[in-house]
Structure 1
């Protein structure tokens, strides 16, 4: 006996379900959005996230809550987001390390690159080499000479596998100095270690150091880009200091769990680009050596894949493997 619900009824039911689902996507968002940041409060990506959040909130009509989840070189944050529903309500703001560097360092990560949808590039920035101002050095060359004269490796703040550490490895390769990496929990901890003379130096983003450098609490020796930055105009580039090619540029980007519906992706990307174009935010970041730059998901995905390949070559060349 044929089931009383015929093909026409089933077709109507299916169409109704699809229309309902499409309507739900069109209505998105209907509740707060959580922006997970893989770094500590007061770090450069946290500053970026908290500048973007109110503009995103105004664009999307729902609160955007910044959630700092730190640990294991951004693995903690990435693992957490990889386990969330692909509904657009949980996003990850992280650095190029997470998807371009970390996969080359660990054989058994608790997440896979394929579990994420790259949404848009947010910012390209410069690292700088900072040091303890009590050291008798004012240039990169003087720091290298100082390190060579020490009877033991010079300690520096560097979480193994992150760009600060890889930049230190490049400095070691280029100069032959010996460095001892000392782990730390976030930018404020690295700053405190330098000001206490527990470590001699670190590589880090510029934004969180500007006031400390201006006050003389920490010294900046060089920046990694191809030009000086407005906030610290007296600080030379590494090329100007006589050490070209020491450090690589870095970026921050926005990711979601893979499978977020296309209409939601489009809304997120459009709202984020409006936030990036907000003049005050752009001027603030530019003065700190960073450039706000959005792109489309396909372009961002290709960029992430290409940079993952380049970082893999460097990591293999120094024989670095963490697990």
Structure 2
């Protein structure tokens, strides 16, 4: 999870719970959908995590623009618990009328591989609407490490007979990035879970652990200060905020791609015109100059995926992480 203290400008001007309609436009018409939605009724966006994290901040920025575009009140409700399962299950049981939406993160596609008996099915119980942001991870080593790129890292790990990599948790996006790297590169790596990215970073800086996969927001300041060395970002393209750090794909492993993301969903069978309207607002909101600047400052990037593309993406992510989890024999307590 990406932590509040590393984010900038996060909640400036936003209410803690209700994002009223605003004069700030996102370049779209305020004509209501054919169904009459929204008909003077608040739209509730459920975030299945605690306030202040990256998912919550993304949700509140989107809610602000959605309220402006639809001339509606948009309420952000935090329903944390069970790694996002409680809030996600709540939305899956709501009516598909456009008044209850879900903004969640990569756990949506990872946890089905870790816990088959979830109280919902990500493949069937949701309408896939938009990806609001991508947030890649970074492969890091201590500043004095002898390796300087991903290929050298793989060779070093195998020469040593195995190398540890830290991450912020078991089953999180950063951990999965490392497990996928093992599969794609053939590197002999062993995962060491930490309770949060800051603890892993402290040990990495002190060379108490020889490598780590951590989210870019937690890592960026330490990369720029030279306290750690970034070998590669896990996204398909380089991060604008870290332009000198190559991707894993361009470092010799072209099939590799792994990154956290924040997505917008609704209950299954949400009317098509509502899905289309929400997608339109989400794409335009995420790609305004102000939001692109904010995302870049927070080591993230926007998306322009259509609902059909989001559905294809989610299904591919579910399949990918299920395979990685099975092959790596990842379990959670």
- Indicate whether the TM-score tops 0.5: yes
TM superposition shift of 1:65: 2.5
Give, in whole Å, the separation in 2 of the partners of 1:80 and 1:24. Answer: 24
How far residue 25 of structure 1 moved from its aligned partner, in angstroms, is: 5.1
Q: Which stretches in structure 2 are left out of the alignment for 5+ residues? A: 1-32
Superimposed CA distance per residue, residues 194-213 of structure 1 (whole angstroms, 9 cap, x where no aligned partner): 45666554334424433342
- 1:76 is displaced (CA, Å) by 4.2
Picking from 166, 169, 191, the partner of 2:176 is 166
For 1:5, the equivalent position in structure 2 comes to: none
Which structure 1 residue ranges, 5 or more long, are not aligned? Answer: 1-21
CA deviation map 1:194-233 (0-9, x unaligned):
4566655433442443334223454422112444333112
Please report how far the alpha carbon of residue 264 of structure 1 lies from its aligned counterpart in structure 2 after TM superposition: 4.4
Alpha-carbon distance in 2 for matches of 1:23, 1:235:
47
Paired residue for 1:232, among 232, 236, 242? 242
Which SS does the other structure have where 1:59 is aligned?
helix
Alignment match, 1:4: none
Number of paired residues?
297
CA distance in structure 2 between the partners assigned to 1:178 and 1:28 by the alignment: 55
User: Which TM-score applies when normalising by structure 1?
Assistant: 0.71
Q: What residue is the counterpart of 1:177 in the other structure?
A: 188
Partners of 1:221 and 1:150 in 2: CA distance: 18
C-alpha displacement of 1:96:
4.2
Alpha-carbon distance, 1:62 to partner? 1.2
Tell me which residue corresponds to 1:202: 212
CA contact (8 A) 1:53 1:66 kept: no
* Bigger Cα Rg: 1
Task: Provide the residue aligned with 1:31 in structure 2.
Answer: 42
Distance change >3 Å, CA 299–CA 23, structure 1 → 2: closer
User: Quick one: distance in 2 between partners of 1:241 and 1:262?
Assistant: 41
Q: SS of the counterpart of 2:166?
A: strand
| Shift, 1:299, TM fit | 3.9
Q: Partner of 1:109 in structure 2?
A: 118
Kept in 1: contact 2:179–2:324 (CA 8 A): no
Higher helix share: 1
1:292 alignment partner, one of 303, 307, 321? 303
1:197 and 1:85 map into 2 onto residues whose CA distance is 52
Query: Cα RMSD between the aligned structures?
Result: 3.9
Partner Cα separation in structure 2 for residue 160 and residue 63 of structure 1: 34
Could you tell me how far 1:103 is from its partner in structure 2? 2.1
For 1:271, the equivalent position in structure 2 comes to 281
CA distance in 1, matches of 2:85, 2:212: 21
- Equivalent residue runs for 1:33-182 within 5 Å: 33-36=44-47, 38=49, 41-43=52-54, 45-60=55-70, 61-65=72-76, 67=78, 69=80, 71-72=82-83, 74-99=84-109, 101-113=110-122, 114-133=124-143, 138-141=148-151, 143-144=153-154, 147=157, 154-173=164-183, 174-182=185-193
Say whether the 8 Å CA contact 1:28–1:264 is kept in structure 2. Answer: no
